[in-house]
Amino acid sequence: MKQGIFAVAENTPLNDKVSRLVLRGDASALERPGQFVQLRLPGLYLRRPFSVCDRDADSFTVLFETVGKGTEKLRNTKTGDEFDALTGLGNGFDLNAGGDTPLLIGGGTGLSPLYWLAKELIMRQKQPIALLGFNSVSDIFYEAAFRALGVETVVTTVDGSYGRKGFVTQAMDREHTGFYACGPEAMMKAVCACTDKPGQLSLDRRMGCGFGACMGCTVKTKSGLKRICKDGPVLSSREVIWEI
Amino acid sequence: MGDLSVNLCGIELDNPVIPASGTFGYGYEFAELYDINCLGTFSFKGTTLHMRTGNPQPRIAETNAGMLNAVGLQNPGVDAVIREELPKLAKVFHKPVIANVSGFSAAEYAEVCRRLDAVPQIGWLEVNISCPNIHGGGMSFGTDPKAAAEVTRAVKGVTAKHVIVKLSPNVTDIAEIARACEDAGADALSLINTVMAMRIDLKTRRPVLANTTGGLSGPAVFPLALRMVWQAYEAVSIPIIGLGGIRSAEDVIEMMLAGATAVQIGAANLVNPFACRDIIDALPETMERYGIKTLSKLTGGAH
């Protein structure tokens, strides 16, 4: 974990609600895909966690949906605006847990950490297949970005307005050695019910600190109590106890 | 440079800054970031006789100028704390530490304190009779002078360590509770614990916290804490640790002027993990600005 000041290098709307934010600064604490950052946002007391979509030595990228006061402010930030960030938080994905042909299953902005994961998996000669689920054609983003990595990418929409109609689970009829998933909890639960292969899930809970001190985000798992911020956010599909 | 040291029940602290229980774990997370031996001391995560898994999710909510928590004293239980956590803590922190204790009966408080009494690295026992997030214990002792005195006496009977009683702000007359604890033998008081509060989600029309209510902390409660420290200082002659919303060296000085011998920093650690170090670093310059040479002489200076 590191604390630092980051400047907005790019803030691009990807559709009506989702934006891509590139923050420039010392990103060296971000070592593994699946890790997250805690941003201090103007007018809010607690920091807010954001999954990291990509990073290099001197910047990181987050994809976020405008859902409340904090993300509204973030949506309207300008190039050069500065943010205080804690970086390198959480455990990140195990790059071997999904085998050689893992499914990367993302629901909405849940696809964010899977992009960096896809890059790392490809570097290790693995052949991930991305299944990206959205509600409708107007919600879609990052399909081209995944394809540009050379990743076979299947898009599903609930209303059938683009790609395969239905939920991401309907596109899971592919040979796979394991899976990585991030998205709404109901989606991840359904994903786990569709395969007997080992999986890794990136979970989300209301956090206080984001670095393991306050016990605000602790959940019960089959392997004991886990702080989502410190012992997660990535948990094995076999240890999660669903609360929904 | 001015003198930052203070004396808490006969133990000298390099400075009055103490991370508050429940916001600093057992220190390891912060020791990754900076040398936590710069702290006066710290109060580690609240400890109960048996393991507690804590409350259901969500446990945290944002508020204006603060936060709510309803963690519910998640901890591995006193024996695991002594066996596993304290040896690790000893590797990163080399000063006497404060053990924060909770329970569901006077006898249970006493039993936890009896077991902790044997641990040399513990300098003080902070008896938490003010947790708003557990049912049938905690705060119910801190809102009744007789029950507060009963717990204090029970604990004093089993330990030679200094006993700090941590008081609840959720009372009508803080002076009455403070006096009851002093009369029962408390060596010091710490106040305030969090203020019982809640938020409701407009979309779901349900309380945000699974526990319905939680404890409010952060800058929002600072003036309330300051007032209660002031009132307690008027009522007792034992030392007071002031806490509630402190986030700057100026806040430390203000709290000491109200009557605090030392201070605890809670919510600020969660927002800025360097908060305690930053406050300690800022103290000498801030003291100079206000013509303060010896910090310890400030205590109660505004009365």
Q: Which residues of B touch A46 (CB under 8 A)?
A: 60, 62, 67, 270-271
* Residues of B classed as catalytic: 131
Interface test with chain A among B26, B30, B60, B277, by most A beta carbons within 10 Å: B60
pTM beyond cutoff 0.90: yes
Interface pTM, i.e. ipTM: 0.93
Phi and psi at A218, nearest 5°, equal -65, 135
Per-residue model confidence as pLDDT tens digits over B139-173 = 778 899 999 999 999 999 999 999 999 999 999 99
Phi and psi at A228, nearest 5°, equal -55, -35
Give A203-244's CATH code, choosing from 2.60.120.10, 3.30.200.20, 1.10.10.10, 2.10.240.10.
2.10.240.10
Nearest Cα of chain B lies from the Cα of A196 at a distance, in angstroms, of 28
What is the predicted pLDDT for the residue at B135?
67
Question: Which class does domain A2-89 fall in?
Answer: mainly beta
Mean pLDDT of B274-287: 98
What is the predicted pLDDT for the residue at A244?
81
What architecture does CATH give domain B6-298?
Answer: Alpha-Beta Barrel (3.20)
Domain locations in chain B?
6-298
CB contact under 8 A, B62 and A40: no
Q: Which of B24, B60, B64 is facing A207, going by the closest CB pair? A: B60
Query: How many cross-chain Cβ pairs, A to B, lie less than 8 Å apart?
Result: 92
Burial letters B8-32, b for 16+ CB under 10 A, else e: beeeebebbbbbbbbbbbbbbbbbe
Per-residue model confidence as pLDDT tens digits over A88-132 = 999 999 999 999 999 999 999 999 999 999 999 999 999 999 999
Whether A149 contacts chain B with CB within 8 A: no
CB contact under 8 A, A214 and B57: no
Phi-psi region of B260 (alpha: psi -120 to 50; beta: other; left: phi over 0): beta
Per-residue model confidence as pLDDT tens digits over A146-197 = 999 999 999 999 999 999 999 999 999 999 999 999 999 999 999 999 999 9
Sequence ranges of chain A with CATH classification 3.40.50.80: 102-202
Map residue B123 onto helix, strand or coil.
strand
What is the predicted pLDDT for the residue at A68?
87
Q: B240, B233 in Cβ contact below 8 A?
A: yes
Q: Which residue of A has its CA nearest to B61?
A: A206
Residue A125 identity (one-letter amino acid): Q
Question: Which class does domain A102-202 fall in?
Answer: alpha beta
Whether B64 contacts chain A with CB within 8 A: yes
Sequence ranges of chain A with CATH classification 2.40.30.10: 2-89
Nearest Cα of chain B lies from the Cα of A9 at a distance, in angstroms, of 24
Sequence ranges of chain A with CATH classification 2.10.240.10: 203-244
Q: B271, A45 in Cβ contact below 8 A?
A: yes
